[in-house]
Amino acid sequence: MEILAVIPARGGSKGIPRKNIVPLAGRPLLLHTIEQARECRSISRVVVSTDDAEIASVARSGGAEVVIRPSEISGDQASSESALLHVLDSLKAAEGYDPDAVVFLQATSPIRRPGEIQAAIGKFIGESADSLFSAHPFTGFLWREEGGRPASFSYDFRSRPRRQDAPRDFRENGSIYIFKPWVLRKHNNRLGGRIAMHVMSEIDSLDIDGRDDLEFAAAVLAMRRPARDASRLAGVRLLALDFDGVMTDNAVWTVQDGTEAVRCDRGDGYGIGLLRKAGLEVVVVSSEENPVVSARCRKLGIRCIQGVSDKVKVLAEETSRLGIGREAVAYVGNDVNDLDAMRWAGTAIAVADAHSSAISAAVMVTVMPGGRGAVREVAEWILEARGSKGSAR
């Protein structure tokens, strides 16, 4: 299926000014949802709908496409459906693009576990649904105010059941919606046709509405952050990167004349730029020899060593040139041909979708996969460990 992710993010907000890009755990709120969407293997494209230039810039820095929303559907009274429909109409008019399904994600729901969006897509497909919403369960006794007075809603208070026998209700949490485009076009609604439900935990259902919500979300993210050795990262002076599967998503496009093209991540390039600005050396060490590798490294202004059969030898030469020890080298790899270099380097890092042998050899593993923000994530780790004021986000 061709699946498009759309994240509406307008500039106006009342509860928290500039809410969609307010800092959360060191980076703009919007970037958390962009990263989660880009991490999902079934999502083909990620688009942010906004009316705001700064939000657009943040979205692009995170690797998302941007569709600028007209002012008439950007105010407080404008529905999310109007923004979703505008994105679909814009892409269809400009490119003839018409996805099989749309994943609608709200930037104000940043607490999604790894694989959460993929699991929701699996449920959507598995149940042959036309639309899906995410929700969290609530087991207990619900009341509703009617005519200024409380009235029991989910049970009859005059015949109170035991708590374990109470009805199990679900609250739509606003985190994930999936729908086929015809549902939106026919009903002007994100839900319609055969509806499925994806259940999430109550904590993961947090919606950022006030400052207290931001503090709680930051605490949850800190608790779930993968363990990293800050002392190792603080001492890194040379970041060495494999190319295929680290700087790219390991895919290759080959045209009839044999020319190859690969997909790189602009966010990775931005992170590399910040590392260089902070005084770190960055080098690509690749077993393959391909002009596309040289071109990408030349654009990023970093050294590129290709056609390497012995990566350890190359790394040793680089440390000698720089006058540093191997403990100051971090190597990021993804496959078996990286194992010797990972074992030699002071800090071995594997990307999230690396071969199991590379993950086993690593002391740290990224959340993002290769070619989709993994290098940028490593850059942020290093800058954070060094106490840099710069951010790779």
Give catalytic status of residue 160 as yes or no.
Answer: yes
Check if the beta carbon of residue 276 is closer than 8 Å to that of residue 282: yes
Do residues 149 and 32 both lie within one domain? Answer: yes
The pLDDT, as a whole number, for residue 289 is 84
Catalytic residue (choose from 113, 160, 225, 298): 160
Determine the structural domain holding residue 349 and report its residue range.
Answer: 230-385
Neighbours of 15 (CB within 10 A): 11
Tell whether the torsion through CA atoms of 305, 308, 311 and 317 is positive or negative: negative
Residues facing 137 on adjacent strands: 170
Do residues 265 and 353 both lie within one domain? Answer: yes
3-state secondary structure the chain: CCEEEEEECCCCCCCCCCHHHCEECCEEHHHHHHHHHHHCCCCCEEEEEECCHHHHHHHHHCCCEEEECCHHHCCCCCCHHHHHHHHHHHHHHHHCCCCCEEEEECCCCCCCCCCHHHHHHHHHHHCCCCEEEEEEEEECCCEEEECCEEEECCCCHHHCCCHHHCCEEEEEEEEEEEECHHHHHHHCCCCCCCEEEEECCCHHHCCCCCHHHHHHHHHHHHHHCCCCCHHHHHCCCEEEECCCCCCECCCCEECCCCCEECCECHHHHHHHHHHHHCCCEEEEECCCCCHHHHHHHHHHCCEEECCCCCHHHHHHHHHHHHCCCHHHEEEEECCHHHHHHHHHCCEEEECCCCCHHHHHHCCEECCCCCCCCHHHHHHHHHHHHCCCCCCCC
Tens place of pLDDT for every residue, the chain, 393 residues? Answer: 999 999 999 988 777 888 999 988 767 899 999 989 998 989 999 999 999 999 999 999 888 999 999 988 888 788 999 999 999 999 999 999 999 999 999 999 999 988 899 999 999 999 999 999 999 998 788 888 999 999 988 888 888 888 778 778 899 999 999 999 999 999 999 999 999 999 999 999 999 988 899 889 888 877 776 667 788 899 999 999 999 999 998 887 887 777 778 888 999 999 999 999 999 999 999 988 888 899 999 999 999 999 999 999 999 999 999 999 999 999 999 998 999 999 999 999 998 888 877 877 888 888 888 998 999 999 999 999 988 544 444
* CATH at residue 220: 3.90.550.10
Do residues 158 and 287 both lie within one domain? Answer: no
Of 197, 224, 251, which closes a domain?
224
Do residues 308 and 187 both lie within one domain? Answer: no
Of 224, 253, 280, which closes a domain?
224
Do residues 258 and 182 both lie within one domain? Answer: no
Check if the beta carbon of residue 180 is closer than 8 Å to that of residue 101: yes
Check if the beta carbon of residue 110 is closer than 8 Å to that of residue 33: yes
Total domains in the fold of the chain: 2
Neighbours of 161 (CB within 10 A): 11
Do residues 207 and 320 both lie within one domain? Answer: no
The pLDDT, as a whole number, for residue 211 is 86
Residue 373 forms part of a structural domain:
yes
Do residues 220 and 275 both lie within one domain? Answer: no
d(CA 365, CA 31) in angstroms, rounded, equals 20
* CATH at residue 351: 3.40.50.1000
- Write down the residue that tokens 């608790």 correspond to: 223
